[in-house]
Structures are given as structure tokens and as C-alpha cells.
Amino acid sequence: MKRIDQVKGTFDQDKDKRRTAPSEATVKRLPRYSRYLARLISGGTLRISSSALAEKMGVTASQIRQDLACFGDFGQQGYGYNVRYLHHKISRILGMTAGHRAVFVGMGDAARALLASPTFVRGDVLAVAVFGAEGVGEMAEYEMDDLKQVLPTLGATLAVLTCRQGAEDILKTLADAGIQGVLNYTNTPLVSPCGEMTVKNVYLDDPCLLLCYHMEKAREDVE
């Protein structure tokens, strides 16, 4: 496998200029770019043109260029993208290099599934502790009653909520301890009690509903 520093190139990503703010749709494509680039890296690919990247990912080259242009100038005319560099930059944009530490409140199936995902397996986000349930791997385990006292000592930034009981009180405790983001897997929408903490309500059946929509549509198109 060739090493990245064998290839020279200039990248002007740090130009301090106003860029188009990324749309929500652009942001939502970033994890996909990141995943695909990670696969290219493990396959030993050093660089790729936007058209080759586009073809493999099923989007247009101009879409990729437009998406990435929101964040910087990552490509080079006639060279394409430096895969490792682009992957690193996207990881940084996604906050994957920020050293996030996650606590788990409850350990429902969704939490276990999340722990088995690349983001946690690779340690991009570190699972540090679980409250009110048995942990997985090397996580510290605490009683739910210890949440208020222990949480501020853990340096956690993220919380994963699968415990439905007392969810609103738990959210307040999380906010008081300086947690900045919460993944809510309780199937009940929750609202952040303060502006400093973002709550993301995750609905695991959404992909299933969207798949059923596309199946329905495929059937209509045939009829």
C-alpha cells in the first residue's frame, strides 16, 4: 500500500472566505462520504476523481463537488481528491475527531446495536459509562440514582437514552451536567430543556417506512 505522503498536492481548505452554508441534505450525505472514503483507504486507494467517486456512490460528480465546496477546497484540478486527506477533513467536520465521550442511560437493544457500529467500535466516540443497566465491554456501571452525582465527573459530551421512565427529569440532569448532545431512542419525542444541549429523536422504524414507500412505488410503476 502506498503511503499518503508519496503524493504531493496543495489544498487550500484553510482559505478564510465565506462559503455557501451546507444544506441539511448535504450534511446528511457526509456520513456516507466518510464511510465510502474509509473503504477506499482500507483498499489502498490514494486518490480519486469526483466522477469516479460519484459513480461508485450513485450521485452526480457535480453533487459531490457542490457538497464538498460548502466546507473547503478539497480537490485539485486534474488530480482529484486525496482520499486520506478528504476522509480526515470530513471526519473533522462531522466532529469525529473531537474526542466525544458517551454515557448510556439504560442499555436497550438500540444502544447495544449502536455500540456495535463502526463509530463506537473504532472509538471515534468512546462509550464511558452506563447508568441503570449492565454495560458492554469496558464501560463503568452505575445505578440510575447516581446519575446526578457521577455524571459531572465523567467528562462526557454525549448521552444515549434508551430508558423511557423519567426521561424528562433525566434530560434536565444531563443538561445540568453539561451534556451537549442526546440521542433519544425511546420512541417518544423529547425536547431539550436548554439551548446548550441538542436532543436528536431517533426513530428506528423510519428506514422501514421509507423502504415500504419505495416498494409501494415500485409496484405502482409496474402496474
Closest to a copy of itself by CB, 50 or 162: 162
Interface with a copy of itself in residues 155-194 (CB under 8 A): 157-158, 180-183, 185, 187, 189
Closest to a copy of itself by CB, 49 or 180: 180
Among 95, 101, 176, 190, binds a copy of itself (CB under 8 A): 95
Taking CB under 8 A as the rule, does residue 35 contact a copy of itself? yes
**d(Cα 111, Cα 92) in Å, to the nearest integer?**
24
Taking CB under 8 A as the rule, does residue 134 contact a copy of itself? no
Taking CB under 8 A as the rule, does residue 207 contact a copy of itself? yes
Taking CB under 8 A as the rule, does residue 108 contact a copy of itself? yes
Q: Which residue in 77, 100, 108 sits closest to 185, CA to CA?
A: 108
Taking CB under 8 A as the rule, does residue 20 contact a copy of itself? no
Closest to a copy of itself by CB, 1 or 191: 191
Taking CB under 8 A as the rule, does residue 202 contact a copy of itself? yes
Judged by CB under 8 A, the number of residues near a copy of itself is 54
Closest to a copy of itself by CB, 113 or 140: 113
Q: How far is the CB of 117 from a copy of itself (least distance, A)?
A: 4
Closest to a copy of itself by CB, 44 or 189: 189
Taking CB under 8 A as the rule, does residue 68 contact a copy of itself? no
Q: How many CA atoms lie within 13 A of 129 on its CB side?
A: 18
Q: How far is the CB of 173 from a copy of itself (least distance, A)?
A: 18
Computed from CA positions of residues 44, 49, 51, 53, in that sequence, does the dihedral angle turn out positive or negative?
A: positive
Among 68, 103, 125, 170, binds a copy of itself (CB under 8 A): 125
- Measured at the CA of 57, the angle between CA 32 and CA 25, to 5 degrees, comes to 50
Q: What is the DSSP string of the chain?
A: ---GGGS-----TT-----PPPPHHHHHHHHHHHHHHHHHHHTT--EE-HHHHHHHHTS-HHHHHHHHHTT---EETTTEEEHHHHHHHHHHHTTTTS-EEEEEES--HHHHHHHTSHHHHTTSEEEEEEESS--STT-EEE-GGGHHHHGGGTT--EEEE---TTHHHHHHHHHHTT--EEEE-SSS----SSTT-EEEE--TTHHHHHHHHHHHHHHHHH-
Residues that bind a copy of itself (CB under 8 A): 25, 27-28, 30-31, 34-35, 93-96, 98, 100, 108-110, 112-114, 116-120, 125, 157-158, 180-183, 185, 187, 189, 196, 198, 200, 202-216, 218-219
